[in-house]
Structure 1
Amino acid sequence: MAVAADAHAPSSPSLPQARERGLDLVKWLALASMAVDHLRFLIPGHALLGWSFVPGRLAFPLFCLALAANLARRPPGAFGASERRHLGALLLFAVLSEPAHDLMLGNAHKFNILVSLAIGWGIAWGCNALQRGPLLLAGLLAAGAAWLHGSLTYGMLGVLLPTLCLLALQRGGPWPALATLTVLLANLTPRLSAALQAGEPRDWLIAGACLAALPLGLWLLRTALPVTLRVPAVGRWAYFFYPLHMLAIAAAAWLLRMP
């Protein structure tokens, strides 16, 4: 059942290729939903652009699922060149993206999502290793995340989500449902909670997008894609896309404010 097991299965030479294309589809959908989400910063408070928040709820859980899928493809506790490059890129671009993030949002109240993803990657890697040193590191990272909870995008639940996604991929059972519920809870601000109780249609769509993100991503990972379907690879350029698209939106917003 687990995608991780499929990734290592040698019985079918076409299986790894299908697995890769599904993972790239998850990444493309995460990037696209993130870019659409950020369109609302072009004109803050705009009624129509405000709806971009709805598909934007797909982005973070799909990024977490992509991290988990990559971890599931490697032996537990492995920290080779691939892991060093992945973690190094997350940390480097988390730092480089912070000015663009603050410029687009107009504030510096929370870190950009790469900070949450980097911490989440470390916790998921440590828990997956099931060794004393990595588990200690995961515990320290979780404690640090609890301390920084108010400054992290999606808070403590956000940094735990990659681990829950990894468990959903590897073990199935209740873990996909628990991970899906965590997505909703991570987005459940007091404003959203009040709007849901008031029956606001837009906010019910937001909750629906939160609940649909991981099932959709898991379906893409587990579905045998048509051989003729070509899915361009999502490479390291995606790290550059993150700060650059925020700078472009911030620049466009500034131009739109000009008299």
Structure 2
Amino acid sequence: MTSRTAPAADTADTAPRPSSTWTGWGQWLALATMTLDHLTRYVLPEEWALDWAGSSLGRIAFPLFAAMVAWHGLFNTRNPLRYARRILVIGVVAQLPFMLMPRASDALLLNVCFTLAAGLAWGAWLRELLARYRRGELESRWLALAGVTTLGLWALLGDWVEYGHEGLLLVPLLMLAMHHLNRVGEPLIERLAAAALALPVLVVAGQMNATDMAKSFTVATCLAALWLAAGAHRLAPTVPLAMPRRLWLAWYPGHFALIALWLWLAGGLG
């Protein structure tokens, strides 16, 4: 999910804004792996035995979406909450066709856009609170109360969204790690601190899936995103064909609607 708003301006942050060229490639890869995952899960016959594709390449999609949301929320928008609202609108549009997908449980589950939007809003709000605390505008007790409150909301919301509690944590943790990796200097202590902040991202990513193969693809995707924040973003060439904005915005709800139509025509929806 990309942001087209103006670059963030933070006078306290002297680190140069990193290049976002890699996200052009990330958009195509995220849509391709997400669609592959959903096709193998909902459309292709079980006898084709292609579930391995969803458990490997399909596990790239969510952490890649989370990395792009965290990246743009940090470096490419003045208003992360407005960016989160745009993601939420896509989620609202996609929710009905998403609910038509066959599942083992009939319990209400909110699609991944709700996970990404909530994670971005959480991360952006915590960053703002910490900035106010450092400026002396917020007392420590109120900062602590806000932290406890958000943890309570995280505990409640995690049962209702796709990818659960781990999914909600991924964007805020990526924002924290990317921020420090982008700013890290030459002193060893700074490098060690940035590496330490990257570890929670990898731990959470490793908890998001059941199989070792799925875990390895999720962790590897997060590791690549952290590497980009640490400086590898400079190596990414411009994507030959930029993702059309309308296609990017419409693909998530649209592909679910097409899958639901296919299942209905094939008698897979009761």
Looking at structure 2, the residues matched to 93 and 135 of structure 1 have their Cα atoms a distance apart, in angstroms, of 33
Per the alignment, residue 126 of structure 1 pairs with 125
Q: Please, which of 235, 242, 259 is the counterpart of residue 232 of structure 1?
A: 242
Deviation of 1:70 after TM superposition, in Å, equals 1.0
Per the alignment, residue 183 of structure 2 pairs with none
1:234/1:169 CA distance change after superposition, 3 Å = farther
Unpaired runs of at least 5, structure 1: 11-15, 193-202
> Which deviates the most, 116-125 or 204-213?
204-213
Q: Deviations over 1:146-187 (max 9, x none)?
A: 113222212122111111101221223122232022012122
Among the aligned pairs, what percent are the same residue? 27
Q: Please, which of 4, 9, 16 is the counterpart of residue 9 of structure 1?
A: 16
Deviation of 1:229 after TM superposition, in Å, equals 5.0
RMSD: 3.2
DSSP-derived class of the 1:59 partner: helix
Per the alignment, residue 259 of structure 2 pairs with 249
DSSP-derived class of the 1:104 partner: coil
Tell me how many residue pairs correspond in the alignment: 229
Correspondence 1:1-259 to 2 at 5 A: 9=16, 19-39=19-39, 40-43=41-44, 45-53=46-54, 54-73=56-75, 78-79=78-79, 83=80, 85-106=82-103, 107-129=106-128, 130=130, 131=132, 132=138, 140-171=149-180, 172-187=194-209, 192=210, 203-220=211-228, 222-225=232-235, 229-233=239-243, 235=245, 237-257=247-267
DSSP-derived class of the 2:101 partner: helix
Deviation of 1:25 after TM superposition, in Å, equals 1.9
Q: Deviations over 1:125-147 (max 9, x none)?
A: 01222135998767544422311
- Paired amino acid for 2:101: M
Deviation of 1:66 after TM superposition, in Å, equals 0.9
1:138/1:240 CA distance change after superposition, 3 Å = farther
Deviation of 1:100 after TM superposition, in Å, equals 0.9
Q: Deviations over 1:205-234 (max 9, x none)?
A: 212212211122334562434657535146
- Paired amino acid for 2:16: A
1:93/1:144 CA distance change after superposition, 3 Å = same
- Paired amino acid for 1:86: Y
Q: Retained in 2: the 8 A contact 1:145–1:156?
A: yes
> Which deviates the most, 88-97 or 159-168?
88-97
Q: Retained in 1: the 8 A contact 2:21–2:237?
A: no
Looking at structure 1, the residues matched to 66 and 113 of structure 2 have their Cα atoms a distance apart, in angstroms, of 10
DSSP-derived class of the 1:23 partner: helix
Deviation of 1:120 after TM superposition, in Å, equals 0.4
Deviation of 1:59 after TM superposition, in Å, equals 1.2
Q: Retained in 1: the 8 A contact 2:155–2:165?
A: yes
Q: Deviations over 1:107-131 (max 9, x none)?
A: 4542101111111011110122213
Q: Retained in 2: the 8 A contact 1:57–1:209?
A: yes
1:136/1:112 CA distance change after superposition, 3 Å = farther
Q: Which has the higher helix share?
A: 1
1:32/1:157 CA distance change after superposition, 3 Å = same
Deviation of 1:7 after TM superposition, in Å, equals 10
